Structure 1
Amino acid sequence: MNNGGKFSLKYTSIGLFTLLLCTLTLFASANYHKSTDFYKHLTQVRPDTLPLKKDTLPGKQADSASRNLQQVDTLNVKISADSLDAPVNYAASDSMVLDVATKKITLYSKASTKYKDLDLTAYKIELDQPTQIVVATYLIDSVGEKQGKPHFVQGESNMDADSIIYNFKTQKGITKSTFTQQGEMFVYGERIKKVNISDFFALDGRFTTCNLDTPHFAFRTKRMKLVNQKLAVSGPIHPEFEGVPVPIYIPFGFFPLSQGRHSGILPPQFTANAQFGLGLEGLGYYKVIGEKFDVMLRTDVYSYGGWRAVLTPTYRKRYRYSGRLNLAYQNTRILSNDPKKEFDVNRSFNIQWSHVADAKARPGTSFQASVNAGSTQYNQFVGINPTINFQNQLYSSISYSKNWDNKYNLTLSMGHDQNSRTRQINVRLPDGSFTVNNFYPFQPNDFVGEAKWYEKLGLGLNTQFRNQVSFYDSAFSFKQLVDTMQWGAQHNIPITLALPSLGPIQVSPGVSYTERWYAQQFTRRWNGSKIDTTIDRGFFAARDVSFSMSLNTAIFGTFNKFGKNSSVRAIRHVIRPSISASYKPDMNGKDYYSTQVDTSGREVRFSKYDGSLYGAFGAGEFGGLSFTLDNNLEMKVRSKKDTTEGGIKKVRILDGFGLSGSYNFLADSFQLSPISLYVRSTLFEKINITASASMDPYKTDNKGYRINQYAWSGGKFSPGRLTSGNIAISTSFSSKQKEKQPTEPTDDLASAGLPMTLEEQQAQLNYVRNNPAEFADFNIPWSVNLSYSLSFSRLLKRDYSGYETQISSSINVSGDFNLTPKWKMGANTYYDFRGSSIQQLTMFLSRELHCWQLGINITPVGLYRSFNITINPKSGILRDLRINRTRYFYTQ
């Protein structure tokens, strides 16, 4: 019997096979050749590039060397001199073909290649790896259309072409039939050579501001150089319209393409003026001195010898302030209406200054300036802006304010005003005010719960002071300044108290104390034929105090008893009455006196302070009631279109209407004050109505002076006499806008946050007013604007002989409509009912020419009559390339 282990053929075979496999692979190197130098490139330890420093301690040199020794792993792989310094990313939607023999890669259908900032797309792109040249072309489909035209973008360069050949390494290339856009200019070249990242040379070039493939107009040149987003320089050029060349040649062309501010000549505009002669207007130069400063010089020159020069410096400091100064001098020489002389000659000047400080620069402090001063006859002789000729008032204001924690506020200012007709000038220097906002002395710093009634007692202070001198520019003298010098001050202390409400009624007591300081007293006396005025100088003061208690509430009423089928669901009426009891003692009756004003012996009461800077306080004791009644009326109607909120919407009938007045129980006569009436409404959300009037409840004598009898006394009922009033009605209708045009960012001075002088604002408004055809909106097929105004007042005659009524009434109508989708016609007229004549009529006709526009503006009626015809491109870069014919006719 054999007790040994069994022999297994299966396990024996596996063991022999494993032993054989290990023997064969023990010294094998697989598919890689053995390299004895492999470790040298990756793991070789190199000594530090810095020399070893000896340790300062004896016996430590070896340790110091070991610490300074650095082990650096480097990969010494040799790179070909023809290799690119950045990867090339490429993709295609159809296929990619790699030709190993020629080392070319070809991409088909929506192919794209990106290298650094370069982005190239086309139907077919072929990349030659040895030469690093890429070729992009398009495909002609079965219907003969070009598909996948090459599009090239690099930095600020953006172009489309039929074919593009570009070298990645040298960044040079050649394109054929290329379109590119430089700012507002569209450039086409049969061949364009790119010599670097920003410079291009074009052969058989065409440039235009029309963005169509076949532009309406263009300029042709044989050779041209483009510096990307900076300038374009060309050889001889000639224009063409609708592909037809115009036989006008210009020896060279220079077109600035840079964005933002840059120096240059301001081209003039030719004009013909009946009074000034032929002229060039707007000729000048704009100079950029630095980032914060620039200056502009403009001149107007006329054939009769007149001229005008305007110097406009502009300054700015971002986040701090900005401003502009306008210095104008004109030497006017116009045809004279006097038969004894041929011309009228006048010299005048004008100074304007606008300054605005950024509110974030110094929180709590502000400084602003708006100055418009100069010769009183300056506006009268400005020929390029007829609207200025009607402005007889000039104003200036310079102010500085300081705020302390919203508790105290100080304001200092200076200014002036002058009248061109009277030639009187008033200068205020300085003016100021100091205000203390309401504070509550009995209110604790930290309180819990509801405040006590006495803790709501508030105090405040408002102090003002003024200084003024007056003189005539035609008779200026130091003695006149002294005689007209005035100063004054006013102090007001309001005291308020908010009492707890009595249900729906709010109770508000108040006390007000006012004191005024004067530098003069005026005394008027009848000398037998007229009134003489005597001025006494010194320091004088007047005071006034008043006590009041007011009650306010609101009453709501709704009427909703309408039928089920009625579209009106409810009418809501809101009444807000206010009654105030007040008392004012007679503290200023001593300052009033009576003086005869005419030969009939009639006397009128005057105050010693009538004509002063702050005026006089009212005379007499007042103890009575003041009342105000304000109303609001609206209704709810069922809307057929709007189904939100149950299909009910609110319609305003009267936004507000009411009256106000007072009754003085302590007066011995004229106890009831005139009643003020007002109403305002927006009917159908289209018609705006505003009206107000003053009604006197007392009768008058045969000359219009009030007598102490109510208008309804004597058996004849009458609520009173309307002594003044006005009403204004306006509305506008227009069709729906066809499509909203995207607004493009502008780079003008207004958008840059620079303040505009008054003359520049007036010039822009006048240009829009006189050239409405250039601003026609063809997206609105038609529009109509209507406005009517009526005002009247009873005024005392200058000779005190009675009262007279002055009435003014006018209507303004404007509108426009599209004759065709490309033709628009409009008009604007102003009719004065008092003069029973049309004061002004302006008509325009505008033609939309895609990249050009035609405008015809006619003013056949008015003091200044004119017409002009203008054809010009819309682009800002060619805004001065216009054909203009303008004539002015002055009817004096």
Structure 2
Amino acid sequence: MLHAQDIPAKNEVVIPSTIQSDTVIASPKAIISEKNEAIVDTIKTDTLKPKKEYLDNIVEYYGEDYVYLDRKENKVFIYNEAYVIYGDIRIEAGLIVIDNNRKEVYAKGIDSAGVYSQKPVFKQGQNIVEPDSLRFNFDSEKALVYNSRTEQSGFKVKAEVTKKVNDSVIYLKNVKFTTSKNIEDPEYYFYTRRAKFVPKKKIVTGFTNMWIADVPTPIGLPFAYFPLTEDRTSGFIIPTVGETSRRGFFFQNGGYYFAVNDYVDLTLLGDYYTNGSYGLRGESTYVLKYKFRGNVSVRYENLINSERGFPDFSQSSVYNIRWSHSQDAKSNPSSRFSASVNLGSSRYFQQSINQTNNASALVNTLNSSVSYSKTFEGEPQVNVTVAGTHSQNTNTQQINMSLPNVTASVSRIYPFAPKIGTKKGALQNINFQYDVRAENRIQTTDSLFFTPEMFDNAQIGAQHTIPISTNFKILDYISASASTQFQETWVLKTIRRRFDQTLDNGAGAVVQDTIPGFDSYRTYNFSTGLGTTIYGLFPFGNDKKIQALRHVMRPNISYNINPGFDQFYDSYEVPIVSADPEIQNEVVQYSRFENTLFGAPGRTYSSNIGFSLSNTFEAKVRDRDTTATEPKKVVLLNNLNFSTAYNLAGDSLNISPLRVSGSIPVIPKLDLNFIGTLDPYALDNNNRRIDMFNIDNGGSLFRLTNANLSFNYSFSSKDFEGQGTQKDLDRIDNDTFRNGGRPDDLFGDATNINDGRIFEPDDENEDKTGIDWYNYKIPWDLRLAYTITYSNGQRQNEISSQSLMFSSNLELSPRWKVGVSSGYDFKNEGVTLTQLRFQRDLESWQMSFNWTPIGSINTAWYFYIGIKSSVLSDIKYDKRREPDQQL
């Protein structure tokens, strides 16, 4: 509707035009000056600036049903699936009204038959608000929003009235904010009457309290501050408050998180107990994409039991250092650096008051390794590795370190190989290489670690090795090989022994002196071997269920010579006091290289013939699948191995015990692994081996001295659904695995008391609200480990160890999980460490209870309930009973 088309009203006066024609005719001569001077325009520039348009950008709009322009009201009505785009602002709604007089836009949904649909959606950049209705001013870019819903950094915010002042400041009234997926009916929320919202930065509120199931709780704050950011930010970590029976009240795991930059972070945490105990911990994670990644953890705890002056008072300190570093293989193929460090007090995992990892407490060995390797490409190729290793027995508190440890090797060189074609014959296959290993080995204990005394008995040495070998065929079926090896060993100190008659009140004693200085010795040996592969096939017919049996044998015979190196041995005499003049002094042989890094060279000449036989039994069976064209191959016995040796240079007991090992597949993923040792020689009355066959002494052909049988088996409900295993157990982020334990939960599942997250965030497309009662599924998994060891080396004829470990997890409902880890020790007739786990997914919350009622090291329980979202991870409650270290 346009006003230009309206008919004038009857009383309206039409004013006639008064513009007259210009009758002045300009002369052409009057226009041109006699002096040809340019005529200056005397019209002045207009100093009034044009009025600025209130729309700086083009307004785009669309309506599915209609777009109606009311010129009288100066409004535009857009209906059904409507949208308006103005700059970076987009408004979608069922009905949109643009008021050009007020420079505003109104948006609301469509109310049809009591159903309010097509609610407005306000988008500006990355911010999205979903209200019931809104008003927006194009000029000031301010907005008034009613019943808005938005999400920022994991928070879902719903406010009755929202006033958008500008792009960075928004005021809210009667606000609910939560991390629940259901913003309309959240299971919990925080309610405040007034709040200031800065997108992607913060929410500042007045009095705020928590509501659970629409019921207010006494948990409230006079004001609240919630940081909102998509990047990591530094901030305080709220400690956990609790009480223990032996250390009093405590503040645990409180500290500060430093977001250093995009590649490194740092967490500093501390614990304090009212009886004086305290703990400090620093953790850092670093990553450089496509280069490397790692994490460092340093923990120290000063533990005080009871109170000073009481008889049960004790004080101790424990520490633990862990470092894990891995390099991307593609970052530098010729240079590699890796680290896996786990060292500290031997009793840390048993005495620590800030971890609940039962599986780590059962670990008996701590290992560390830090290495850098470099490859120098060329012909031949050279590899150099510099490393440091550490091994620590937590039971004996013995520590072995190799720092530094340098190894270098030159790749194999074939001096007689042809330049073109394959190598043939013994001559062309002759090859040699060079290896060197230098090491500084330190043996110490827990009490001397990190003290100067730990270096007093350090052993330093180097060993050079040059192996030479070749291989060739005999009669096209027998593979032959021959090799020799030359070694030269360097040491920086040796020993010297002598008998001093003046010691021990004249009785005399052996004195050992340490001789510093460089010394060396050289050794060599020779070996050769013959081997082949024999195939046996026994067909039964294609109409049989078992169509054929296949037997593969790999026999091997070898011969080894190790000369005796008497030149590196000395002797001293020990006088024997006797009235018999024929009794002479005792002559004791020793080597000055004893107790050195690589030990003394062999003094005894040996010449051995070795025998080994490997067997594999397979069957071809008719496949149950009638559409299969080929029979199915089934392994009946895998790697049944026999090995023994005969000493040609020995004067007695020439035959070595027969070693038998193998694996029997029972069902898929279940193999019985066995190993045993059979001794052909008999024992005397003192249970010592004698040079007599056991069969000649009234026994059997062989005497079983020791044997072991074991198996590991895991399966789950997903195996029957054809979905494979439930999860990967070899995760590098598994805390127990990094501590040197098993990655599975056979010895209990680790609970991180610093981060109680158990369940992953819900998948928005996954429905966990109910169960199909006619075809419901209960996911489960079961893991078994069994081992039995038999010992009969000295006629004890006993089962030295026998145990069965198991763990199982059962998902009773989509949000209920229970688990158990336990076992039985048949030797000691007792239940092993047992852990019960109860876990409940409360949608936005999660709850867990871990109980260890039986344990050889500790018994404890741990309860946790908290919010899933990492934004509000500090809102939690946890309680635990510490293990009794005196048991």
User: Normalized against structure 1, the TM-score is what?
Assistant: 0.77
1:285 and 1:296 in contact (8 A); partners too = yes
Match of 2:637 among 650, 654, 668: 654
Would you say the 8 A contact 1:628–1:659 is kept in 2?
Answer: yes
Q: 1: distance between equivalents of 2:309 and 2:361?
A: 24
Amino acid at match of 1:551: L
Amino acid corresponding to residue 885 of structure 1 in structure 2: K
Establish whether residue 575 from structure 1 lines up as the match of residue 575 from structure 2: no
CA distance in 1, matches of 2:337, 2:716: 42
Q: Distance in 2 between matches of 1:269 and 1:462?
A: 55
CA distance in 2, matches of 1:394, 1:333: 25
Partner of 1:47: none
What secondary structure does 2:553 align onto?
strand
Q: 2:840 maps to which residue? A: 847
Determine if the alignment matches structure 1 residue 192 to structure 2 residue 171: no
Structure-2 residue corresponding to 1:282: 253
The structural deviation recorded for 1:408 is 0.7
**Structure 1 pair 560/678, CA: closer, same or farther in 2 (3 Å)?**
same
- The residue number in structure 2 matching 1:383 is 353
1:152 corresponds to which of 105, 113, 122: 122
Query: Within 5 A, what are the aligned runs for 1:174-323?
Result: 174-212=144-182, 213-312=184-283
Equivalent residues of 2:104, 2:138 under 8 A apart: yes
The CA deviation string for residues 4-35 of structure 1, in whole angstroms up to 9 with x for no partner, is xxxxxxxxxxxxxxxxxxxxxxxxxxxxxxxx
| Cα distance change of structure 1 residues 680 and 106 upon mapping to structure 2, 3 Å threshold | farther
User: How far apart in 2 are the matches of 1:828 and 1:541?
Assistant: 55
* Runs (5+) with no aligned partner, structure 1: 1-77, 597-602, 744-748, 797-801
Structure 2 unaligned regions, length at least 5: 1-48, 575-586, 761-767, 769-776
Q: Counterparts of 1:621 and 1:155 in 2: how far apart (Å)?
A: 85
Q: 1:137, 1:738 → 2: CA distance?
A: 49
Which residue is 1:586 aligned to? 564
Give the aligned partner of residue 433 of structure 2: 460
Query: What is aligned with 1:769?
Result: 750
The answer to whether the 8 A contact 2:863-2:878 is kept is yes
Contact 1:272 1:886 (C-alpha < 8 Å) held by counterparts: no
Deviation of the 1:882 alpha carbon:
1.6
Question: Does 1:885 pair with 2:879?
Answer: yes
Contact (CA 8 Å) 2:410, 2:435: kept in 1 or not?
yes
How far apart, in 1, do the equivalents of 2:157 and 2:510 lie? 79
Which residue type is aligned with residue 784 of structure 1? L
Give the aligned partner of residue 781 of structure 1. Answer: 779
One-letter code of the match for 2:135? I
Candidates 822, 833, 837, aligned match of 1:829? 822
Distance apart, 1:118 and its partner CA: 3.6
User: Partner residue of 1:512?
Assistant: 485
8 A contact 2:716–2:779 mirrored in 1: no
Q: In structure 2, what is the equivalent of residue 817 of structure 1?
A: 810
Whether 2:406 is the aligned partner of 1:436: answer no
Deviation at 1:568, TM superposition (A): 3.9
TM-superposed deviation, 1:310: 2.2
Please give the root-mean-square deviation of Cα atoms over the aligned residues, in Å. 4.6
Instruction: Please tell me whether the aligned partners of residues 774 and 846 of structure 1 are also in contact (alpha carbons under 8 angstroms).
Output: no
1:343 deviation in Å?
1.4
In 2: Cα distance, 1:783 partner to 1:332 partner: 39
Please report how far the alpha carbon of residue 604 of structure 1 lies from its aligned counterpart in structure 2 after TM superposition: 13
Partners in 1 of 2:450 and 2:75 — Cα distance?
94
The range that moved more, 708-717 or 656-665, is: 708-717
> Are the equivalent residues in 1 in contact too, given 2:494–2:594 (CA < 8 A)?
no
What secondary structure, in the 3-state scheme, does the structure 1 residue paired with 2:827 have?
A: coil
Deviations 1:370-413 (A, max 9, x none): 44555666556421236565556554444332210171111223
2:92 aligned residue = 121
Change (3 A) 1:663 1:141: farther
Alignment correspondent of 1:711 = 694
- Structure 1 residues 680-759: aligned runs within 5 Å: 680-714=663-697, 716-723=699-706, 725-734=708-717
Q: What is the CA distance between 1:460 and its match in structure 2?
A: 0.8
Structure 2 residue 608 is matched with structure 1 residue 628: no
Q: Partners of 2:510 and 2:802 in 1: how far apart?
A: 37
**CA separation of 1:701 and 1:151: change in aligned 2, threshold 3 A:** farther
Identify which range, 755-764 or 179-188, moves more after superposition.
755-764
TM-score (norm: length of structure 2): 0.77
Q: Deviations over 1:289-310 (max 9, x none)?
A: 4445543221111122211122
Q: C-alpha separation between the residues in 2 aligned to 1:327 and 1:361?
A: 28
Aligned partners of 2:882 and 2:615: how far apart in 1? 52
Post-superposition offset of 1:662: 2.5
1:176 CA drift (Å): 1.8
The equivalent residue for 1:366 is 336
Quick one: structure 1 residues 554 and 341, their matched pair in 2 at CA, closer, same or farther if it must change by over 3 Å? same
- How many angstroms apart in 2 are the aligned matches of 1:309 and 1:260? 27
Number of residue pairs the alignment of both structures matches:
791
One-letter code of the match for 1:585? Answer: P
Percent of aligned pairs sharing the same letter: 29
Distance in structure 2 (CA, Å) of the matches to 1:739 and 1:298: 45
Rounded Cα–Cα distance in structure 1 between residues aligned with 2:536 and 2:200? 69
Given the superposition, is the C-alpha separation of residues 500 and 342 from structure 1 closer, same or farther in structure 2, using an over 3 Å criterion?
Answer: closer
2: CA distance, partners of 1:883 / 1:354? 31
Contact 1:498 1:507 in 2 (8 A): yes
- Residues 121 and 424 of structure 1: CA distance in aligned 2, closer, same or farther (over 3 Å): same
Give, in whole Å, the separation in 1 of the partners of 2:881 and 2:619.
55
Deviation digits for residues 167-186 of structure 1 (CA, Å, limit 9, x no counterpart): 45544322222221112221
Cα pair distance change 1:88/1:343, threshold 3 Å: same
Q: Which letter does structure 2 place at the counterpart of 1:832? A: D
Residue of structure 2 in register with 1:166 after alignment: 136
CA-CA distance at 1:616 after TM superposition:
4.8
Cα separation, partners in 2 of 1:272 and 1:736, compared to 1, 3 Å: farther
Listed one character per residue, the Cα deviations across residues 402-444 of structure 1 (whole Å, up to 9, x for unaligned) are: 2101711112233445555555554433321111111222345
**Aligned residue number for residue 789 of structure 2:** 791
Deviation at 1:756, TM superposition (A): 12
The Cα of 1:449 is off from its aligned counterpart by 7.2
Q: Structure 1 residues 215, 455: closer, same or farther in 2, change over 3 A?
A: same
Deviates more, 1:678-687 or 1:428-437: 678-687
Q: Which has the higher helix share?
A: 1
* SS in structure 2 of the partner of residue 667 of structure 1: coil
1:736 touches 1:780 (CA, 8 Å); kept in 2?
Answer: no
Query: 1:545 is aligned with what amino acid?
Result: Y
**Structure 1 Cα separation of the partners of residues 455 and 143 of structure 2:** 81
